């Protein structure tokens, strides 16, 4: 009896959520306040010691760029390049390369091309080379989890 209400609520959410996303229109433009908060939080989270926070922030940048293509995310390019070059975990270098790919900056492209040539990990080299080859075509999936699995 005590599980009935939460179960019904969950079931209702599962049924209604897909219909809401299908009827959703173009997102409203971000306000100046939202823009500043996003920038502050992104920069703070990219330096966070938690791997989950850093990975989630990279995914947020990709989704933000997709939802608001006109939003200027140039402030995140250099921190992403730093992760791509200096992070000890190959997985995070791959995530950073993917994020740079989606942010679509020429400086980021150059960094991804360099990692394809000079990284010490074969997986990072393969992934960066694939991103560099497909940069103009934009044939890489936008699903971060799928891309990481393909790279591994």
pLDDT tens digits along 53-64: 999 999 999 999
Q: Please give the mean pLDDT across all residues of the chain.
A: 82
What CATH number matches the domain at 31-151, 3.60.21.10, 3.10.20.740, 1.25.10.10, 3.90.1150.10? Answer: 1.25.10.10
Q: How many other C-beta atoms lie within 10 A of the C-beta of residue 129? A: 17
Q: In this structure, which long-range contacts are made by residues 7-15, counting pairs with CB atoms below 8 Å and at least 24 apart in sequence?
A: none
Rg (CA), the chain: 18
Non-local CB neighbours of 73 within 8 Å, separated by 6+ positions: 61, 64, 65, 103
DSSP state of 1: -
Domain range list for the chain: 31-151
Q: Give residue 9's pLDDT band: very low, low, confident or very high (50, 70, 90).
A: very low
């Amino acid at each position: 009896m005590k599980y009935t209400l939460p179960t019904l609520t969950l079931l209702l959410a599962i049924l209604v959520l897909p219909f809401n996303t299908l009827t959703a229109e173009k997102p409203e433009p971000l306000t100046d306040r939202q823009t500043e908060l996003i920038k502050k939080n992104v920069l703070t989270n990219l330096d966070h010691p938690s791997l989950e926070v850093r990975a989630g922030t990279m995914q947020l940048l990709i989704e933000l760029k997709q939802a608001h293509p006109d939003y200027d995310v140039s402030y995140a390019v250099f921190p992403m390049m730093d992760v791509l070059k200096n992070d000890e975990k190959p997985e995070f270098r791959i995530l950073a390369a993917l994020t740079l790919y989606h942010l679509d900056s020429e400086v980021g492209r150059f960094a991804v091309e360099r990692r394809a040539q000079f990284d010490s990990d074969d997986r990072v080299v393969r992934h960066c080379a694939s991103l560099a080859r497909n940069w103009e075509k934009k044939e890489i999936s936008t699903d971060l989890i799928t891309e990481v699995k393909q790279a591994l």
